[in-house]
Amino acid sequence: MKIKTKLISGVGLLFVFILLLAAMSIFYVNALKRDTNNILVANYNTLEYSRNMLLALEQIPEDSKALADFDKNLARQKVNVTEIGEEEATAQIIDHFNALKLNPEDGHLAPAIRKDIAELMRLNMEAIERKSSIAAATANSAIFWIPVTGAVCFIIAFILLVNLPGNIANPIKELTASIKQIAGQNYKERVHFESHSEFGELAQSFNTMAEKLEEYSESKLDKILKGKKRIEALINNMHDPVIGLDEARKVLFANDEALKIAGLSTENLIGKQIQDIAVTNDLVRDLIKDLINPGLKEKTIEPVKIFADNKESYFEKEIIDINILPTGEQAAQLIGHVIMLRNITPFKELDLAKTNFIGTVSHEFKTPIAAIKMSLQLLENEQVGPLNTEQQQLLESIREDTGRLLKITGELLNLAQVESGNIQLAVKAAAPEEMVQYAIQATKTQAERKQVKIETDYADHLPMVQADSEKTTWVLVNLVTNAIRYSYENAVVSIRVFQEQDKVKFQVKDTGTGIDEKYKHKIFDRYFRVPGTQKEGTGLGLSISKEFIEAQGGDISVESALGSGSTFSFTLNVAER
């Protein structure tokens, strides 16, 4: 049944019963009124007239007015005949009264009239008795029917009170709960209401909506699954190893290459905590050390060396953090990491070939250059034969070129050593002043040619340093050469050596061209030369210096401003006494 019909019929029924109750009450009140009225009009008046007639009869013949009084009451009684037998009784009184009027002295008539009146009174009293029992019956019926109707009304009202609110509110409650389920993406939720009411239609519409949403979400899920499969296929077909982690560092995916190099099976890797795997797997431990210890990140540009498939391979590791910005939120949220390894073995092999080549070539160059130098010295010897000025100039330029060649081959040899990763260090306690002096000696001609003055400033009681003096001197020569080379004529290059905690700092300061801020971080890179540098050079000196100093446990840095010169500093550990 529809809710509207339910409401109308419930409230309507109640309304009808209230009307019925009112009508019944009115009916019974009226019936009671009619019954009592009957008694009053029909019988009480007759009794009144009879009494008056009896009183008047007592006065006749003494009182002349009594006759008229009797006559008046008798006339009233004549028009108030209501009961069976009353007419005859009244007629008798009239007859006897008329006879009395004609013969007032007759002593029998007065008792006859009294008897007639008594009969009339008896008739009416009987009628009163009968009518009052009728009124009592009417009252009894009213007492029965009015409460019965009232009780029925009460029961119906009570039933409505109990059922109707629930009938309306319960489906709304159920519907609200189902809407909440849908809002929580449980599209399987359905509602089941009695199908004839408005709620039935509502439930049907709701269920259709839920079904469509379910269909839509499944199709979306299907799309997402297909997309996931595509990405998985892509990752699996990549030649570079890839491992995906969630925000709790649990392995989400790993491609075949990753499994191969880690020597793990899918079951042993996917779904496991990466830290747990790292305990037993050296490679995984190496891969995640930046993740576990973020402070290490900067330093680990070193390629990862992996031995797999019976050969050594080199990989460049990159850890990408995956951040998302949830809808409506301001802060990005970390949802995982991807560890990518780029196979750089072919480049590494090429690089090695290049280093070997450089090493071999520069080594092979050394002997002929030394032979050239020796021949030069022989030629310069007066005993070999006199040289004219032109020949002497030619020899001078050959010497310069040979010097340059020797420097380059030296740098290339050092580079080959650095690149192959086996810098041979002969570390022992060395005196800083000695190394500086040696460097000054080596760059003397160059400085003199440019009229550059080299000043030294040694702190008192300088300790010995823990260093490979040959390599450190090479660095110092390189820094001083650069300082002279990039200084203007007649400038001063100052070398300061002082102790700083457990280190000794060497500073080479010039007042030359200086280095533009934007190139400062690059000058220690291999083959880098500040664009526009006219002076000869390979761009290797500073990078080799950096390697040499760092290999000895020191640091190298530069402070410079374009146009006002540069200060190159490096530190070395104080030698233990």
Whichever of 241 and 514 has its CB closer to ligand ADP, that residue is: 514
Whichever of 39 and 475 has its CB closer to ligand ADP, that residue is: 475
Q: Which DSSP letter does residue 519 get?
A: G
CB of 566 to ligand ADP, least distance (A): 4
Which residues, 6+ apart, have CB-to-CB distance to 320 below 8 Å? 337, 338, 340
CB of 479 to ligand ADP, least distance (A): 7
CB of 390 to ligand ADP, least distance (A): 31
Whichever of 483 and 572 has its CB closer to ligand ADP, that residue is: 483
Which residues, 6+ apart, have CB-to-CB distance to 325 below 8 Å? 331, 332, 333
CB of 368 to ligand ADP, least distance (A): 23
Q: What are the structure tokens assigned to 273, written together?
A: 């905590």
Residues in contact with ligand ADP by CB under 6 A are 478, 482-483, 486, 510, 512-515, 523, 528-530, 533, 537-543, 566
Determine contact, residues 464/429, Cβ cutoff 8 Å. yes
Which residues, 6+ apart, have CB-to-CB distance to 438 below 8 Å? 473, 476, 477
Determine contact, residues 89/120, Cβ cutoff 8 Å. yes
Nearest to 290 by CA among 249, 236, 250, 256: 249
Whichever of 343 and 513 has its CB closer to ligand ADP, that residue is: 513
CB of 500 to ligand ADP, least distance (A): 22
Rounded Cα gap, residues 423 and 426, in angstroms: 10
CB of 563 to ligand ADP, least distance (A): 10
Q: What are the structure tokens assigned to 257, written together?
A: 């290459």
Return the residue nearest ligand ADP (CB atom).
Answer: 537
**What is the side-by-side order of every strand in the sheet holding 251-254?**
251-254, 242-246, 333-343, 311-324, 304-308
Whichever of 171 and 514 has its CB closer to ligand ADP, that residue is: 514
- Cα angle 352, 536, 446 (rounded to 5 degrees) comes to 115
Whichever of 336 and 539 has its CB closer to ligand ADP, that residue is: 539
CB of 263 to ligand ADP, least distance (A): 42
Q: Which run of H or E residues covers position 437?
A: helix 432-442
Whichever of 285 and 529 has its CB closer to ligand ADP, that residue is: 529
Entry field: residues in the chain: 577
CB of 541 to ligand ADP, least distance (A): 3
Per the listing, tokens 């220690």 go with: 524
Whichever of 230 and 404 has its CB closer to ligand ADP, that residue is: 404
CB of 557 to ligand ADP, least distance (A): 13
Per the listing, tokens 């009174």 go with: 121
Rounded Cα gap, residues 338 and 318, in angstroms: 8
Whichever of 443 and 478 has its CB closer to ligand ADP, that residue is: 478
CB of 537 to ligand ADP, least distance (A): 3
Determine contact, residues 129/43, Cβ cutoff 8 Å. no
CB of 357 to ligand ADP, least distance (A): 20
- Cα angle 542, 545, 551 (rounded to 5 degrees) comes to 145
Q: What are the structure tokens assigned to 55, written together?
A: 């009183």
Whichever of 46 and 566 has its CB closer to ligand ADP, that residue is: 566
Rounded Cα gap, residues 241 and 344, in angstroms: 12
Which residues, 6+ apart, have CB-to-CB distance to 300 below 8 Å? 289, 290, 317
Rounded Cα gap, residues 227 and 232, in angstroms: 9
